[in-house]
Amino acid sequence: MEELLKELSKRAEEEILKAKSLQEIESLRVKYLGKKGELTQILRGMGSLSPEERPVIGQLANDVREKIENMILERREKIAKEEKERKIKEEYIDITMPGKPYKYGHKHPITLVMDEIKRIFLGLGFSIAEGPEVELAYYNFEALNTPEDHPARDLQDTFYITSDILLRTQTSPVQVRTMEKTKPPIRVISPGRVYRSDDIDATHSPVFHQMEGLVVDEGITMGDLKGVLNVFAKKFFGESTRTKFRPHFFPFTEPSAEMDVSCFACGGKGCRVCGYTGWIEILGAGMVHPNVLRMSGIDPEKYTGFAFGLGIDRIAMLKYGIEDLRLLFENDMRFIEQF
C-alpha cells in the first residue's frame, strides 16, 4: 500500500506540472482527490491492514493528499496569472491612436422645413392631425365639394387604386376627417405626403409634401386667416416679410385666395428667385365652404372656418435655393450632407 501511495504521489506531481489550463487542473483534482478518485480507491484497502500499520499508512495518505492539494493550488495560481497576462497583452489598447471619425446623420431639408413650420403653428395653439395616404375618393373629393364631373378628378392626375380608393392628391381630406370626429373649436395642421400622376422633372414629382391648416369656430373671419398667415410668414421668412392675397378659386373654400410673400432674397426689388416680380406665391387658402362644413356634420349657420395648404417641397426649394425638385428625392449624400 505504501508503494501504491508513493507511486500515486509521483504520477500526480508529474501530471499537475504538465497541466496547461484551469480545466485540466480541475479534472486532475477530481481524478486524484475526488470522492471516486484514486486516493480514495487506495484507502478502501485500509481495512485489510494490521492495527500497527494503519496509523502509519493513514499518516502517509494524509501527507500525499496535502502534497497534491498544495501542488494543485500552486499550479492553478500560476496558470491564472499567465492567462491574465496573456489577456492584458492581447487586449492592449493604444490610447494614443487617432480615433475613427463618426458620421452624424443630418435632417433632410424637407424634414427641417416641416419641423420649422410645425414649430411655428404649434406655438400658435394648433395641434397636429394625421390621415391616411391611401384614401377614399369620398374624403379626397366629394366631401371637399369636388363633385364627380369636376376637372380636378381627372383620371390622368390621380393614382386610383379602385374606383373609390386612391392615393390622396392633397392633405385636405384630413380636414374632413378631423371635422367629422371633433367638435369646434378646431385648430389643426396636417403635414404629409401626397401623390399625383405627374412626370418627373425639375418642378414635378409624383410624390411630394403638403401641409394643411384648418381653424373652425364661432365668428372666424377672413381677418383671422390673414392674421395667422401673416404671423407665419414673418416667423418663417423673416420679420420684414410682407404678404399679399390674390383672389383665386378652390372648390372647398369660398372665398378663396392665394398668398404671396415679399421676396426674401431681394426684399421685393425683383430678382431671379422671384422672377423679377418681388413676390413669391407660397400657399392657397380661403374660408371653408359651407357645403364642406355641412358634409362634415358642422352647422355652417353657427360656425365658420378657414383653411390653407402649402407645398413643403416648394418652400424648402425657396428657402435653401434648390433649383431642381428631384434633388430632394434622390438621396445623393453629396446633396443631403449640406444641410
Residues that bind Zn ion (CB under 5 A): 263, 265-266, 271, 273-274
Q: Indicate the residue among 237 and 252 with the shorter CB distance to Zn ion.
A: 237
Say if residues 145 and 253 touch (Cβ distance below 8 Å).
Answer: no
Q: φ, ψ for residue 274 (rounded to 5)?
A: -95, 10
Q: Are 42 and 5 in contact (CB under 8 A)?
A: yes
Closest residue by Cα to residue 308 from 82, 151, 120, 154: 120
d(CA 195, CA 80): 68
- Asked whether 311 and 205 are in contact (CB, 8 A), the reply is no
Q: Phi, psi (5° rounding) for residue 255? A: -70, 165
Tell me which residue of 175, 179, 208, 169 sits closest to 189, measured CA to CA. Answer: 175
Shortest Å, Cβ 226 to Zn ion: 22
Smallest separation, CB 167 to Zn ion (Å): 35
DSSP string for residues in 255-299: EEEEEEEE-TTTTTS--TTTTTSSEEEEEEEEEEPHHHHHHTT--
Instruction: Provide the 10 A C-beta neighbour count for residue 155.
Output: 9
Smallest distance, Zn ion to C-beta of residue 281, A: 13
Tell the smallest beta-carbon distance from residue 120 to Zn ion (Å): 22
Range 157-177 burial, b when 16+ CB lie within 10 A, else e: ebeeeeeeebbbbbbbbbbbb
254 marked as part of a ligand binding site: yes
Q: How far is the CB of 323 from Zn ion (least distance, A)?
A: 14
Let me know how long the chain is.
Answer: 339
d(CA 278, CA 266): 7
Neighbouring C-beta atoms of residue 145, cutoff 10 Å: 19
What distance in Å separates the CA atoms of residue 307 and residue 141, rounded to the nearest whole number?
A: 16
Residue among 4 and 265 whose Cβ is closer to Zn ion: 265
Residue nearest to Zn ion (CB): 263
Contact between 170 and 311 (Cβ < 8 Å)? no
Q: How many angstroms separate the CA atoms of 210 and 133, rounded?
A: 12
**Distance of closest approach, residue 316 Cβ to Zn ion, in angstroms:** 17
**Binding-site annotation, residues for Mg(2+):** 254
**Binding-site annotation, residues:** 254
